[in-house]
Amino acid sequence: MNNGTAVVLIVEDSPIIRMSAVDLVLSAGYEALEAGDADEAIRILESRDDIDLVFTDVQMPGTMDGIKLSHYIRDRWPPVKLIVASGADIVDESMLPGGSRFFSKPYDELTITETMAHLLSNEDPYAVVV
């Protein structure tokens, strides 16, 4: 957390969808960071130690998709919470790292903000403890 405010990294290759997700995160009271693909997201994660949650799309250009990115993040930064979304693929949560949540696009904004709040709380029974 940055000054008591959770920091959310949004990883989305579509600028319009990314801007909408940033607005959603900001309106929920969190700090928003942006990345256009997994490679940029990893560079941001490597340069900061205050990212609490990553909200990523599945299908993206670059070296890895959102599913591979979520596993990479869980392996390298285990405390970071994960939300994965896709407009094309239906992903079974068993394909994602433990504690991750999946949503199909278009997603309900209230459900996303409630899920973020739940994941970021200490009450999350699926939180990965290291």
The model's pLDDT over 4-52, given as tens digits with 9 standing for 90+, comes to: 789 999 999 999 999 999 999 999 999 999 999 999 999 999 999 999 9
Tell me how far apart the alpha carbons of residues 12 and 92 are, in angstroms, rounded to a whole number.
20
- Predicted TM-score (pTM) of the model is 0.88
Burial (CB < 10 A; 0-12, 13-18, 19+), residue 79, is exposed
- Tokens 């990479």 — which residue? 72
CATH pick for 7-120 out of 3.40.50.2300, 3.40.50.300, 3.40.50.620, 3.40.50.150: 3.40.50.2300
% pLDDT > 70, the chain: 89
Query: What does pLDDT average to over the chain?
Result: 88
Whether the per-residue pLDDT at 125 is higher than 50: the answer is no
% pLDDT > 90, the chain: 68
Mean pLDDT of 93-120: 88
Mean pLDDT of 54-69: 92
- The distance from CA 17 to its chain's CA centroid, rounded to whole angstroms, is 14
